[in-house]
Structure 1
Amino acid sequence: MPLKHSCQLEEAMRIRPLGQPGDLGWVVQAHGELYAAEHKWDTSFEALVAKIVGDYAADHDDTKEAAWIAELDGERVGCVFCVRETDTTAKLRVLLVHPNARGHGAGNQLVDTCVKFAKSAGYQRIVLWTVDGLTSARKIYEAHGFELVEKTPQHSFGHDVIGQLWSRTL
């Protein structure tokens, strides 16, 4: 009887446009659950993400705004949005990579996709807002040419945090 060999198939990561049923809700739910579990943030963060997602879903210009989902073996594991801040500035929003997919390059692929889209849409600059302490995200932003331009102490999501504005020229 031949021996059965167990072999692990290489996991397939892909970035696809947001737009399948359930994508919008997944973005909100994943952010709410993940940031509560990892950072003890309250539901005000989930509400902020819901507003960002709702605004995008209700009214966005496909030529100037886009969003993507990262999938690992067909399961949603990440997301990012590129929205219009001004006529010349895009804004990267709601980057997330689920813990099950970290280390597979999803964050880098999502940010790269967003930056490339912003360039092709004619923006001159791209910005993002985050908080101090999200080390993995900061490394990804720095690797893609973003620079920290402003820090602001504030109380958000049930905690005292340092808000950060990052920017890069396109």
Structure 2
Amino acid sequence: MSVPVQPVPAASPDGPSGDARDQLRIRRADQPGDLGWVVMAHGEFYAREFGWDVSFEALVARIVADYADSHDPVREAAWIAELGGERVGCVFCVAADGPGALENTAKLRILLVDPAARGRRLGTRLVNTCVEFARATGYRQLLLWTNDVLVAARRIYQAAGFQLVDEHRHHSFGRDLIGQTWALELRPAQP
């Protein structure tokens, strides 16, 4: 299963730009350095923006390592967003496995957009890529876990149709947070 990705000019106030520095594209995370960048970027951005400690980077490293070691290329995928050839975002779609996992359920994991690339609807594009893949792959439901302080990401999830199904207080990443689980019921892709 392959979701086609095409370079798309980044939005600008004056319309599409032909400048290579403004070329935005979303591609599979299949090049050397992609997975390492995902871990590093999460660690650095979340520490800077939210004061989260290294335990968050460790969580992301475990998610990425699990994906690298054993993902099913037919049912799971990861994407990198590039702006002018530089990595500026990512998202993963993985099967929801383990105790209590529902059949035909996937998880949207580790969405990130570099602050320097925000304002181009890149987060929306990444989430839509993940949702389209999950739908085309035959998943019935897409889940995600986030924290209430990630307001911009929550807006993207809500706009994509995700519904809040659970929240709880926890102490993680050196902070008191409210964790949230969101769900999107998927309909089969239309022919």
SS at match of 2:181: strand
1:58 paired with 2:74, answer: no
1:15 paired with 2:17, answer: no
Unaligned runs of 5+ in 1: 1-6
1:108 paired with 2:124, answer: yes
Unaligned runs of 5+ in 2: 1-16, 187-191
1:29 paired with 2:45, answer: no
Q: How many residues are matched? A: 164
CA-to-partner distance for each residue in 1:3-50, whole Å, 9 max, x for gaps? xxxx98371111000010100100000000000000000000000000
Task: Could you list the structure 1 runs, at least 4 aligned residues long, displaced by more than 2 angstroms after superposition.
Answer: 7-10
Selected match of 2:167 from 142, 147, 151: 151
Which residue type is aligned with residue 9 of structure 1?
D
User: Percent same amino acid at aligned positions?
Assistant: 60
Which residue type is aligned with residue 124 of structure 1?
R
CA-to-partner distance for each residue in 1:87-142, whole Å, 9 max, x for gaps? 31000000000001001121011000000000011100000000001111011001
Residue 124 of structure 1 corresponds to 140
Residue 3 of structure 1 corresponds to none
The answer to whether the Cα contact below 8 Å between 1:13 and 1:104 also exists between their aligned partners in 2 is no
SS at match of 1:63: coil
Deviates more, 1:80-89 or 1:156-165: 80-89
Structure 1 residues 146 and 8: alpha-carbon distance in aligned structure 2, compared to 1, 3 A threshold: same
1:82 paired with 2:122, answer: no
Which residue type is aligned with residue 43 of structure 1?
V
Which residue type is aligned with residue 122 of structure 1?
G
- Provide the rounded CA distance (Å) in 1 between the counterparts of 2:53 and 2:39: 13
1:47 paired with 2:58, answer: yes
SS at match of 1:149: strand
Which residue type is aligned with residue 23 of structure 1?
D
Q: CA RMSD in A?
A: 1.3
The answer to whether the Cα contact below 8 Å between 1:15 and 1:68 also exists between their aligned partners in 2 is yes
- Provide the rounded CA distance (Å) in 1 between the counterparts of 2:71 and 2:150: 28
Which residue type is aligned with residue 61 of structure 1?
D
- Provide the rounded CA distance (Å) in 1 between the counterparts of 2:58 and 2:155: 26
Which residue type is aligned with residue 130 of structure 1?
T
Q: Which has the larger radius of gyration?
A: 1
TM-score with structure 1 setting the length = 0.94
